[in-house]
A and B are shown apart, each in its own frame.
Chain A
Amino acid sequence: MFVLPGVIALVLVAGLFRKVPLFECFQEGVREGVRSLFSIAPSLVGLVVAVTMLQASGFFDLLSGWLSPVCSAVGIPPEVLPLGLMRPVTGSGSYAMLHSLLETYGADSFIGKAASVMAGSTETTFYAITVYYGAVGLKNTRHTLPAALLADFTGMLLACWTVRLFS
């Protein structure tokens, strides 16, 4: 509850202290925000459509039905598993999936919180690997993928465990 006002106050006081032109700077940042919003718009439209269609087709219900024994054994709600699988592959796709989960189950429900933590605590692993190694023309990535994916998997489990434990 205090995070937002606290950060705002901290940033503004630090800026004032450092004699930063506060409002001009803020506007410049907002301009960048608008630009990045526009840049994710095309993929977000495509992927929200795909996720909404999958949801309506009943695919996720079937999938969570099949997966629920495995998922409940490790403490992941089966509903959020598709998000966990999507997260390392596409950022926009996982935001689309998260949005659909939040709309269906409520942003402040257990599923909503676990999904939020899952989406917020890992990165688009495949994208980072492709872009960074691609930039220097390296095809062999050695142990990058196993280390990164095992870490992502840990994140998936922990996202659910921490929310269950502390809320």
Chain B
Amino acid sequence: MGKILNILWFSMLILSVVCAVCTGRMEELSAAAAGGADQAVRLLLSMAGVMCLWTGLLKIAERSGATAVIARLLSPLLSVLMPDYEKGSEAMQAVSANITANILGLGNAATPLGVKAMKELQKNNLLRTSPNNSMVMFVVINTASVQIIPSTLAAIRQAAGSSHPFGVLPYIWMTSAVTLFVGVVLAKLFSLRR
């Protein structure tokens, strides 16, 4: 991953220089380099308020038992999608903890929980050197966004002066629900072909 970002960052910078030479926008480019760094810090500061409001509220939600409620709702669905593991097993508990954290937008908690889930899944993976269908399903679910309140996004919209930073939420819910569905169906179909 570090490698991809290295290449990407390098290419973006070089490309901008090359492009600016061709279009004769050298002056704008040097202004942008300095201005970009300044903008980044401003963006972080203007995002901070909304982000912190959400992480604060989420903590209360989490402590009030939202995590347990969501995990209970998920478990029957997940055992249908990942039939290689028994319902209530250590692995499936880790899986549902990870997906619950994703739904609530607890980004910092979700990744370690997901890694734990993968380790549990790998313990009973009969294929050993490649992921079984349930593991693929788990990762595909993780690459689709299932977050209810995308707080970073709302914070960026707020920072850009949106009059309703949360106004796009219904579209996001619709889009991510269909996207998740497509991902799950494709993962299932591709697994049948082998």
Contact = CB atoms under 8 A, between A and B. Distances in A.
Interface of A: 1, 3-4, 7-8, 11-12, 14-15, 17-18, 20, 22, 25-30, 32-37, 39-41, 43-59, 62, 88-90, 93, 95-96, 98-99, 102-103, 106-108, 112-113, 116-117, 119-133, 135-136, 138, 140-144, 146-148, 150-152, 154-155, 158-159, 162-163, 166-167
B40 interface: yes
* 4 closest A-B pairs by CB: A29-B59, A33-B55, A52-B36, A151-B183
B81 to A, nearest CB: 13
A155 B9 CA distance: 25
A122 B144 contact: yes
Interface of B: 1, 4-5, 8-9, 12-13, 15-20, 23, 25, 28-29, 31-33, 35-37, 39-41, 43-44, 47-48, 51-61, 63-66, 107-108, 111, 114-115, 118-119, 121-122, 129-131, 136, 138-140, 142-145, 147, 149-150, 152-153, 156-157, 159-172, 174-176, 178-180, 182-183, 186-187, 190-191, 193-194
A162 B64 contact: no
Given A120-B153, A151-B186, A154-B179, A141 B131 contact: yes
A143 B107 CA distance: 25
